[in-house]
Structure 1
Amino acid sequence: MDTHALATASRTDPLGHTTLAGTQRTTDTGPTKIPIVAHIITDDDLEILQGSKLQPLNLKRVIKLLTDPHSMMLYDRHVNALQRICRHYQKGIPMKELVQVFKILNVCADRMDSQILYEQPVVDILKLCALPYLKEKSSDELTYEQIVIESVSQLGYLMRIPSDIIRKQICRTLQAFYNESSIVQDVQHKPSSLSYNRRMVEMSDISETLVKSLALLENNLDIKLQVLSVLQDLSRNSGFLQALFKNNCEQMLRAEAAKRLCLRLMDPDPSGQLLFRSIDIIWNLLEYGDKHIVASQLNNITCISQLRDAFIFQMTQGYSHYDRQLRNDLLVISSLVAESCPDAPFILSEGHLLLALFSFVRANEKQSRPREWSVAQFEEMQLHAMSVLSSLCPLMLEDYMTCQGSTRLLLLLEWCVGPDTFGGHGNSFHGTSGRGNKKAQMRHCLRLMRSVVSTEDEVILQDLSDQGAINQLLGVLSTAFTKSADQYDAELFGTLGVDTLVRHLKTDVKLLNSGLGHHKLLLAAIDCVWCSVVGCYITEDYLLEKEGVYLLIDLLEMSPKNMHNLIVGCLLDLCENPKTVNHVLTWRGQNGSTAAHLFCEMWRNEEAEIGASRDENGAITDVTKPLMGQLQEERGTVSLPSQFPSQAIVDVSENMRAKIYSFFCKIGFTDLPGLTVDDHVTLTIIEKYLDFKIGEVWTEIMKELEMENVRPVTPDAEAMEAISRAIEERAQIVAATQAELLEAQRNQDILDEQEFYAEIRENHRQAEKRESDFAAFTLRVSSISHLKAAKKRQELSIDASRIQPKYRDIDHFHDTTLHTLRTTVFSGKHVKVETPPRVTEGERPELAPYDPGELPPLNRQFVKHLTI
């Protein structure tokens, strides 16, 4: 290299730094130009990239091959070029190549009508589009964002190709791209994330395009179901970036998706997927989209007719849980549409809905005829119908007058205040406080009349007045004033009345036998709690706050037996309040007994009084009569008319076993604290009380049939025999459970006894050992020979306990024993050694004069650690 080349290659400055070529000073005196060196070190330079390197492919040549007039007829070369693209991008398509790839797809799509050879290559390229797009750099997601969005939109535009295979593949590609996470691709480029893919789909117009493509698929059910499946996924996951972009549901609504889907609900579909998927998409549009837009799209008689036909079809033809769920979805969608649509009443009016609802506004019957609603079902339907009429009648006054609504309401009101007895069931929200009376019907009837009168329509007001509504309402008011409701009485009782009752419930039980009338006062207080407090949540909560439940159970524990029935009944009704159960479970008696133990003891007393067949432990002895008492058994079975109760039914009211069973149903049968084995034995009978009582009633029925020489038909006889056998088997199971409990208790008692005797033996053994140890100690300290023998035995015992018996023969053995020591007590591991300080000849200090007042210097103490 010559001098000029060397000067050009490098130059050293005065500080010793080397300047690269092209950076030499312009003049010797001018300033130095410092170059900007950008050190870009890629992963490829460091050789840390994993996977195969994706070489670039010249797609422009492929496009030119497809579009050039001289080569556009070379179909074989076109197919080979497309297959080469599929093989090259089998790991995924880079984002920077998407424009050219979709340009190739569009060229092939335009030629699909004339040449079918492009079909399979297009399908293969669409399969590659299902994979996450590849990025060389992290910034590619932002750089090619608009390109990715337009590419996703192009997938929807390809639905114009009249090929079932391509359309199916487009649907599969969209589902995989939108739902599946990034897979591990053996290539150096990084795949896009699932969240990025979903965001790109949200920003594209693929949802709107797919909805519009349904018009091309009316006669192709398979492809239509595939498209609906894609729309189902897009609408379900809608709102990924709702704050920034229009979501999928809004795009679908722009294409009138609700109307398009609803118009084709009842198209022939053997699989049933068309109705299910369409309803699911409409549901998602209502949930994530604009309800008013959905309602406006469905606000036409054609769509409503389709919803009605679908609902009727599911009502009449559906039999599975899936069909019932779809039926409920149809009903909810119709309700939401009617709620959001201001023109909904025209649908209700043309469908004669008010006439159907007014068919329930009539007097309730005590018994239902075959193949009709039961009494409880009709009552619930009636209350629901009147609740709906309260909202619809003010909007549909003409239909109200056509159905003679005023006459129907006044007749129902007359029945409500009439003398006819009716026991309402009080089911559902609308039947609150209506159990055993007609209050729920009267309340809804008056509410419906109020809603109609509030319209101030002169025709309706005149109609009600002419039919005597004023006189009838005055009669209702006079009845209400003369006889107030029990709940209102309880509310008027108030907290002051509860305070008075609590003070009387604290009466000492010892005063009951004083003859001064304390027992009457206490009975009146308990009865007042039952009548004036129970049933009103306000006073019930205040009674619980004042520990009224604790006082009642205290009285139950201490009071005479003739008061138990009243107290148990009051507690049982009070347990309808869920808060009472915790108070019952936390109560403790005089000896720490619990409420569960107390009620089990009362059950045993009741059975002992009626003479039930039990052994000394309270277990069942006769499985054929597990509940029958001695008096009931002596009376036997007597054939009675149907209006007279039998012995098994009378037994329920003659003792407290039914109330105790109901009480345990409130507090539970498991995990009860403070129960003994006898209580558990009793609890097994209490838990099966209802089953045993049912079996007892069936036994009486069969005996009465035998006494009357009535032979039931074969199915009834087999049913009664099966019931009897089942009850007897259940009694045997209970008896076996009781035997297991008692056997476990006996085994536990034996174990406790053995442990007790073992403890006694151990105490005696320790006492004997202390005596023998003291005798051996006395012998050692009194005789040197015995001491040596004890020491020898100790050393032999220590040697025998060592791992290496020949440890004394090793070269580095250190004996730690003192041979002159005559003790059998083990020495400690620390030895105290006292040594005077050592002073050399040259360092000998002068001796100080002796001063007796000074203390002598302390000797230094060293501690030496010895290992035995």
Structure 2
Amino acid sequence: MMRILQICASRIEDFMEFIDPVCDIIKLLGLPFLKNKMSDEARYTETAAKSLSHLGDLMYVPSPQVRMQICSTVMDIYNTKHPIPQIIGFELTSTSYNVEIAAMSGLAETLVSSLTLMKDNVQVKILLLRALQLLSRTNENCMFMARGQAAFNICSLLNDPDPSGELMLLSSGIILNLLDLGPKDEIIKQMNNLECICALKDCVVRLFTTGYTDRERQLRNDLLVITTVIAEKSRALMINLTFLLFLSVKSRNPLLGNIQLLHNREGLKMKRLLMDLLVIFSKDWSSDKILSDKKVVSALFTYVIPTEKPEIQDWPMPYFQELQLQAISTLSSVAPRLVEHYMACEGNKRLLQFLKWCSSQDGFVGNGNGCCRRSKNEQICRTLKLLNRMVSVQDTTLNKDLCDQGAVRQLLRVLKKTNTDAVGKNNTVILEIQTEILSVLTSLCETDSHTKELFGSQGVDVMIQILKMGPTQVSSGLGHERLILSTLTCVWSCITGYNITEDDFLDKQGMFLLLDLLAVNWKTMNTILLTLLNKFLENPKTHSHFYTWRGKKFETVPHLLIQLWNEAEKKLGEVTDKYGRIIDPKNPLGRQIGKDQKKPPISPNNVTTSTCEVAENNKSQIYSLFLKLGFSDLPGLSTLDYVTLIAIMRHLDFQVGKVWNKTRQELKAENIQPLKYDSDASNYIKKEFEDLAKRVRAQQSQVIVEHQKMELEEEQRRYAAIKASMKQRAEAKKTWDNFVLRTSNYDALKEAKRIKEDMIELSRPEYVIQKGIDHATEIYGLNTTVSCGRVLRVQSTPSELTGGPLADTCLAQKRLPIRGGALRDFRIQRFKF
């Protein structure tokens, strides 16, 4: 059938009579296939796909009627309701099968390639685009269409004459499908040329000026989305920014004179898309001149105002709030590139006033969309991010102006308020606000002592409040760890280096809080904590805090530092024995020096790996701390700690020796033979460092031997004490057994036994038993003489009843419950000592 169809189609150009029969046959291909077995679908898949592939080739037949029928047939393939009666003995194939066959045939690629033939016939072009829009709904067809240069062919047709307006709408829909389901990078590459970009520009400008219907406004926004996607990959060829003027600034440009922006959802989306484009353009340095000439910073600042009295009228409050947040975020990208325009607009003053309003209001009044549901905290957060971006530029004039406006005190007040509001809550936005404030304060105080003075006692109080956060809360994963890191950085920039704030921080126990954090041993914080401690130790008042601090297990600072040292050694792969002693004097750091020699030699202008390790790992910081604390009279160190401390004392020497060894390895790797004097000097240095390592190992061994001797003596002493205790217990038990055998008063025996159980935990069992016997004798009037291993004499008449001279005066004054001549049981307070 397809061969017959191709023969007929080849004769259409000479014989017009073939057009109708060809169209009738093509129309049949849009109907479902028929099958009489379930296996027919798999059996004839390839044949069916080839038939549809030949159908695409017929688009080159120079007949509008045939081309239109082909497009209609393709659309019929996707039709789920075919008016075909049931044929006995056959079943219709499913629509999904038909769509699958169409995708396998490569029909989409052929149809896209034929677009260039339709420039003069708008009707056929529209019908073909409708068919392509159906095909672009699957990944397979999008891949075929990309191979046929669909993005370029369709985008270049955007400005073709079209009285119906469907051409632009269908084209944008197909391109969006290609970007979503097809190879995105390839599609963008096809449109990243002057022809496509100019076509997009003309369409957008035309829709800006003449688009009045909702359909046209939606189309305008779709084209802006396509423009934004292209701009993300290539900004050099992007469209002119003239239409960006309409953000809010009045313009005399005649192009914008007829624009009527409606304050509805489509208008909101359009403005947000334009702001997204501004963010993309700001990444290109060549755009600075255009952004400056168009006064983009001034236009964006018109949104940074309290929402009760917006200067831009007619916007619904939720829409204006969304635009406000978007404008602040856009300024964070644009304003750092245009500092002069930012200062000309009094940006610092505006932002601080807006921040003051935000922190004193309940925030948004409407629901809005997206981030607007997060109330005033989102306004504060984005404003602080903008301030952080501005101060990070490190422009002296800008930062000084910000301090003169009272930014430091205002930010501290906001930070203190958020700390109070965050108690008992897990709000990620509040945590982000706190982190941004700390970053701004860090940048402001980093190099300015006057700003540190403004930070003052109020800032120290806030830092102390944050540092008191519990370890459980910090490790919750909500951002508290980042907050603590920002706080530590702020302490470094705003407190250290200024004596007044340093002393205030120490007086308020801030050093103890830093040491508590170090004891928790968070890997991400140890480096900055050790750096901070080194900085604080330059203040003589800090030493007493180091010697006074005790951890949860009563560990001291020197012991904690040695623990961190051992962990750093394990991380670096340095190997010692179980006592922490050097194993190989030739390689005291315990690592393979030549294991990385296959790498290319290091340039003379670069530092070596060994030098980098000295500066980067925590061992250098710990060594520096011990240098300031001293290596003697350190509290809380065990014998094994002293073994490690001996190696720490020689850390710098070992590092110098390692650098010399590395130098020799590099010379050998580069086949460089040093001069005789250099070689002798190198060998002498090597021998000296090996001798030093041997001396250190000998000192460590001596300490270990003394430690083992002390352990042995302690073990012997404990064994002797246990032996003596067992002997005493045996004698006490014998005394007790004799007492039991010779005591006829059951109540006295019972009370003595109870007293024995109460006091059995004491270390002297004979003392316990004797006390029990004496107390029982005192209560029940037993005249008992106990001698260990001898006879007991017991008198069973209670003296309390006779009131004799040995009676318990306290007990004798009580009225004893006596009925019928028998002694009634009563509660007696236990003897405690």
TM-score of the pair, normalised by structure 2: 0.40
- Tell me the TM-score normalized by structure 1: 0.38
